[in-house]
Structure 1
Amino acid sequence: MAFDWQGRFDGDEALYHRIFQRVKNTNDFSDVSENAFAIHGFAVDEGVRRNKGRVGAAKSPDIIRKNMSNFPVVQADFRLLDFGNVVCENQNLEASQEDFATKVSEVLKKGGKSVGLGGGHEITFAHYSGMRKAFPNAKIGIINFDAHFDNREPENGLASSGTGFWQIAQEGPINSLHIGIQRNSNTLKLFDTAHQLGMNYILAEELFFENLPRLYIEVNRFLESVDVLYVTICMDVFNAAIAPGVSASAYNGMMADPAFMNLYRHILASQKLKALDVAEVNPEFDIQDRTARLAACLVNELFMV
């Protein structure tokens, strides 16, 4: 069922418009035009269950939509298409990931920009797979805001929310930059795997205002090395005070402060950016929609570029 976009109505003129007034629910990929934004909800948390996390993130896409509805439209040519939600039936995570990837690729092939609303962080492999379908010969860069590397090897052959980057690396050289990595959330094995796979990373403790000049250099070097860019945000990268509703909360996670926002906006300004998603919003543990609201705000930052 299509989401019923609603919000505060101030008028029909463009200067009054909020996002809910500019969304079109559709299943027709011919509606996609150059630089239009296309939403796909990933109403799936089977990967979180397999990864022994707190389930509930499958319910988040529509709650994130609700929190997006009232943001003001600031770009005159803003277009937003909503292709609904991908769901997981019979615990078949792989089928839902393939479904999501196929739909994403259709958007990207038509010049649109893909926006994913998760769901578990198993959305990463799905979104990347869609990028690969659309840009088979491109060097795809991934910037991952996350407390975790998500580079575990599958247990018993089953992928999960924690295996996405290991899976990507099995398909060829991986080009990734992970921002917000926590020392106390990753074993030495996961750090070693990151080094072995060539996964670049910035620790959470390195993201502070005075360090931004160095981080800009590191980010710019990464952006220059890739052809197209995909940004994924696991909401557990943030402090539990501002993002309590996640599958694995972090008491010492990052804040959405000027240091983070400046670096984030710098990345969003890249002309190479083709896809973005937010993941691990878990309404079962959220407080007053804090996490969903933050996720919605991060998506809206892309709409304002």
Structure 2
Amino acid sequence: MIWQGRFDGEDPLHHRIFQRVQLDTDYASIKPKDFVLHGFAVDEGVRRNKGRVGAKDAPDIIRQNMTNFPVIQPEFVLRDFGNVYCEDQNLEKAQAELAQKVGQALMSGGKSVVLGGGHEVMYAHYQGLKNAFPDRRIGIINIDAHFDNREPDPAVGPSSGTGFCQIAQEGELNSLHMGIQKNSNTLKLFDTAHQFGMQYILADELYFENLPKLYEQLDAFMSAVDILYLTVCMDTFNAAIAPGVSAASYNGIFADAAFMHLYRRILDSVKLRALDVAEVNPGYDQDNRTARLAASLFNEWFQVS
């Protein structure tokens, strides 16, 4: 049993997240404002991208690290629809399955929460949003050290590093990338980002004194779209706080005051309908440090009224 934790009583004032989880299979039962959770137990895209695999084991471990967070909002409900798996290295089928399920959840009025898995989850999650809101302008905020805009290799297929290129090739791409590292992206990837109109904020720009400028850029992006989708790749964080990832970052960002101000500004938007976290790799984690950080990022959204 994954959803279990410290029990302090049945009074709502004592409640922790595990006491508000409903294991579900019926999408028709979703009510507006319910948080709807899917696990994406897949890292085939990481393998194709020549990364170190293991992120497929993360969803249940992130769940375990969510269980004991206190419930702040009186009407909080988390509906857990289980995991999507990848059979026979068929990444495309797993992505299509997640997209279909996310679309159902969003069309029922729920808020989509997805636990990765590799960052190939982004393309699938986005397709679910497109299924639910085909005529709306969807903006993606990607907190990541990498652009993930590589051209898919015809001999390999799409991977964890190709999602934004796929979206751009299929239609309109509206994206803002926060935490981009100069030493993690080639000039070709920067050039591709410019060609696709991908807005970005470098990791070096994420400091407290720069918040007024960053707020302006973030607010302008959010105001120009109808629906917001936030995706977080854990390799954007420094290896000291996120050692368990597919590609550890010695100079990554920290979950400090500057970052949390920006992060919470996104969560406060009424346009935000979907959030996922990717690239937690339990096999390389230490004391569940990375999984706990990932769980806390979801919990920040759960606390928003």
**TM-score band, normalised by shorter chain:** over 0.9
Question: What residue in structure 2 maps to residue 12 of structure 1?
Answer: 10
Matches within 5 A, 1:58-207: 58-157=56-155, 158-207=157-206
CA contact (8 A) 2:113 2:276 kept: yes
Tell me the matched-pair count. Answer: 303
Q: Please state how far the C-alpha of 1:19 moved relative to its aligned partner.
A: 0.2
Distance in 2 of aligned mates of 1:238 and 1:191 = 20
Question: What residue in structure 2 maps to residue 23 of structure 1?
Answer: 21
Check if 1:38 corresponds to 2:42: no
Q: Please state how far the C-alpha of 1:172 moved relative to its aligned partner.
A: 1.0
CA contact (8 A) 2:30 2:105 kept: yes
Distance in 1 of aligned mates of 2:55 and 2:66 = 17
Structure 1: gaps spanning 5 or more residues? none
Distance in 1 of aligned mates of 2:148 and 2:119 = 9
Distance in 2 of aligned mates of 1:34 and 1:108 = 9
CA contact (8 A) 2:234 2:278 kept: yes
Structure 2: gaps spanning 5 or more residues? none
Question: What residue in structure 2 maps to residue 227 of structure 1?
Answer: 226
Given residue 204 of structure 2, which amino acid in structure 1 is its aligned partner? E
Q: Please state how far the C-alpha of 1:4 moved relative to its aligned partner.
A: 3.0
Question: What residue in structure 2 maps to residue 240 of structure 1?
Answer: 239
CA contact (8 A) 2:2 2:63 kept: no
Distance in 2 of aligned mates of 1:71 and 1:93 = 33
Q: What's the TM-score once normalised by structure 2's chain length?
A: 0.99
Q: Please state how far the C-alpha of 1:155 moved relative to its aligned partner.
A: 1.2
Distance in 2 of aligned mates of 1:164 and 1:248 = 17
Q: Please state how far the C-alpha of 1:156 moved relative to its aligned partner.
A: 2.2
RMSD after superposition: 0.6
Q: What's the TM-score once normalised by structure 1's chain length?
A: 0.99
Given residue 127 of structure 1, which amino acid in structure 2 is its aligned partner? H
Question: What residue in structure 2 maps to residue 298 of structure 1?
Answer: 297
Q: Please state how far the C-alpha of 1:231 moved relative to its aligned partner.
A: 0.1
CA contact (8 A) 2:69 2:299 kept: yes
Same amino acid, percent of matched pairs: 67
